[in-house]
Structure 1
């Protein structure tokens, strides 16, 4: 009934604007890792999701992806809740509860060793999923999906500019507080340089896409049209923002972040160069030697950029070998913990409690490891066998979506490949860091995925095609 009294298109635009603003706002206060910003982001996003679902219903073109994501969310959150329930028998419960019963007379026994922390972790899992679902609800056309991607790219560029200014003028300040860690690295609005590197790498890919689109539009614009000068100004602003993202990425000094961006660029940039002026209209088949020349030139350009500008990260890699990195020294202990609890897990959000019993003394006593620095291993330890199954389902769905997009989309195919490259970037870096466990970045990436999935499964109307040709 509500939708009958409201202009649905205007309302969708308003909600889309609120969605974009909320995603960007979630980034700014240190990635919303503190309770108040996180609670605000969760309440606002859940409210936006409920309103969007009630008014618009399931998305038509991406309905099966929407249903799959909702199913994964229900299964994961449901299992997380089950981990906190008092078990009637000792088998599924963690053995630690048996020891607690014998020593302190505790009568409670659950799969999770910290039921309260596990219950609280449900929100940390649900927020990016709900963001993704909300994005699918609102991105019903290519135009709206591209608005989301443009806003995310420009926000990444603006944050990169802020990070550069802050790092050059106030290197010991993080937004408005004193910086205590990573004083030699640019972290932008994040505390950790690795999260900043993942974000800036994704921002670099987004700005490359925006520059490609605006230069193609500029090439087709009549020389005497009054709007051409404005397009020129926008193109130079985009180029400066791209340089800011790239420079900030290099100054983060994150070895894994720069390497993951390098791999993603090798996937995306050569195709972008080969098809820079590609169009379905007046399609001409270029000579094979010319395409190969462009391919190898683009690959060489990416390699040269890495060699010239990633010197600080390369120097860190030489000075601190992998075997000297505590993160890798901890891996055998994490695997032992997983092998002891691979079926049921120890409870989501319990790594800090469980891992000390498995920590190898040879790795030293300095530092408190409250995260595994590996998204997949920490998820496996917390959720048990449910986590790798859910992860395979998510990657499988994305693979089907992007494969269909590469096969069916023409003019917007580069957005599909952008989704592939960005997923590779984030998936690679997640193997050595916890960027996806930072709410701000997780929400940003979920919004990004919702827009690229919508484009991959979308169909452009003639009007939309003309507008964005």
Structure 2
């Protein structure tokens, strides 16, 4: 494949001079906002009840988004709110998002929050069931409300995720939920483990059989993967021109609008791999600072799980959310979407707050 050779920091017709362009400043401001939101949530989360409140709000908001998305989908799927979708052939569910792949990441994070509440409910029931109290009553009654509300939300969000027909999104969500469940199972009784696994498998099969035709059709297609491989090859072939500082933050669409390869017909606005795009435009040093925090946080959560300290469903949420976002970011661009970035920052902040001494 032909490499794309562009000298770094040399302005070209139709291409902004790399560096702190207007788009670069907007992108930098977005990442700074994520950091500030993380610090704000961390500062204001001083009690365990605060974490539970965040979980409830995020799970419920995601369920409401899923409910709207399902209503819009069954109404024809041609509009996002009052805006008509730019692609008339795109009838996949995207809720209030223009891009279904980005919505898949968003709903996946909400699904993880709802699943964490459900798992915490099971553990609370197992630990606190009074003599003579039925398992069913203990299951559906939960300190934060009736658990059936969150189970209904999980059904809505799972159905919405399937109807996005996002191959990478569904894969990332599956790995995230799988991580959450597998890290939680060792502490559950064998009967509860079997019940959870059986219920998850049966529910997924039923939902796919009812509403998964579009997803199955996309899984059988190969279009798009070839273009992405060409893009990846171009990035890797030219990343060495300026590996440390990159060719200019947020300059990717400008580069490819002028210099895309001859065998790519359509406009390319994103690299469909956040890590490669960030390394190419912002440089390896910036990519290092982007990757290190979630890796360190995951290590902290896993150590807390290993020594048995703290409310482990929330620690598994911290790990599972990084798995979901990490996997999907290697195949698409969810890290560049504010709603996804803010949700992920809130999850990581509230989970990390549990590593500090907090009030009951």
Determine if the TM-score, normalized by the shorter chain, exceeds 0.5. yes
Call closer, same or farther: CA 1:241–1:96 in 2, change over 3 Å: same
Aligned to 1:318: 220
Shift of 1:110: 6.7
Call closer, same or farther: CA 1:369–1:260 in 2, change over 3 Å: same
115-124 or 215-224: bigger deviation: 215-224
Aligned to 1:412: 311
Call closer, same or farther: CA 1:265–1:354 in 2, change over 3 Å: same
Q: Does 2:168 correspond to 1:256?
A: yes
Shift of 1:451: 0.7
CA distance in 1, matches of 2:295, 2:8: 31
| 1:46-96 Cα deviation digits (max 9, x unpaired) | xxxxxxxxxxxxxxxxxxxxxxxxxxxxxxxxxxxxxxxxxxxxxxx9452
Shift of 1:408: 4.6
CA distance in 2, matches of 1:337, 1:137: 42
Q: Does 2:243 correspond to 1:342?
A: yes
Residue 96 of structure 1, aligned match among 7, 10, 18: 10
Q: Does 2:114 correspond to 1:207?
A: yes
CA distance in 1, matches of 2:170, 2:43: 33
CA distance in 1, matches of 2:69, 2:40: 29
CA distance in 2, matches of 1:399, 1:119: 29
SS of equivalent residue, structure 2 residue 240: helix
CA distance in 2, matches of 1:307, 1:267: 21
CA RMSD of aligned residues (A): 3.3
Call closer, same or farther: CA 1:186–1:360 in 2, change over 3 Å: same
CA distance in 1, matches of 2:201, 2:64: 23
Aligned to 2:338: 439
Call closer, same or farther: CA 1:312–1:410 in 2, change over 3 Å: farther
Question: Are the aligned partners of 2:65 and 2:95 in contact in 1 as well (CA < 8 Å)?
Answer: yes
Shift of 1:177: 1.9
Question: Are the aligned partners of 2:159 and 2:207 in contact in 1 as well (CA < 8 Å)?
Answer: no
Aligned to 2:93: 186
Shift of 1:264: 1.6
SS of equivalent residue, structure 2 residue 77: coil
Q: Relative contact order: is structure 1 or structure 2 higher (C-alpha 8 Å, sep ≥ 6)? A: 2
Question: Are the aligned partners of 1:255 and 1:314 in contact in 2 as well (CA < 8 Å)?
Answer: no
Residue 355 of structure 1, aligned match among 247, 251, 256: 256
After TM superposition, the structure 1 = structure 2 runs for residues 22-421 of structure 1, keeping only pairs within 5 Å, are: 94-97=8-11, 112=19, 115-181=21-87, 183-217=90-124, 220=128, 231=141, 234-276=146-188, 290=190, 294=193, 298=197, 301-302=200-201, 305=204, 309=208, 310-320=212-222, 323-324=225-226, 326-363=227-264, 365-366=265-266, 368-410=267-309, 412-421=311-320
Question: Are the aligned partners of 1:111 and 1:344 in contact in 2 as well (CA < 8 Å)?
Answer: no
Shift of 1:192: 0.5
SS of equivalent residue, structure 1 residue 361: coil
Call closer, same or farther: CA 1:345–1:238 in 2, change over 3 Å: same
CA distance in 2, matches of 1:183, 1:260: 21
How many pairs align?
341
- The TM-score, its normalising length taken from structure 1, stands at 0.65
Shift of 1:252: 0.5
Structure 1: gaps of 5 or more residues: 1-92, 101-108, 278-289, 465-469
Structure 2: gaps of 5 or more residues: 1-6
Shift of 1:303: 8.9
Call closer, same or farther: CA 1:355–1:321 in 2, change over 3 Å: closer
CA distance in 2, matches of 1:376, 1:123: 18
Shift of 1:312: 3.2
Call closer, same or farther: CA 1:417–1:135 in 2, change over 3 Å: same
- The TM-score, its normalising length taken from structure 2, stands at 0.83
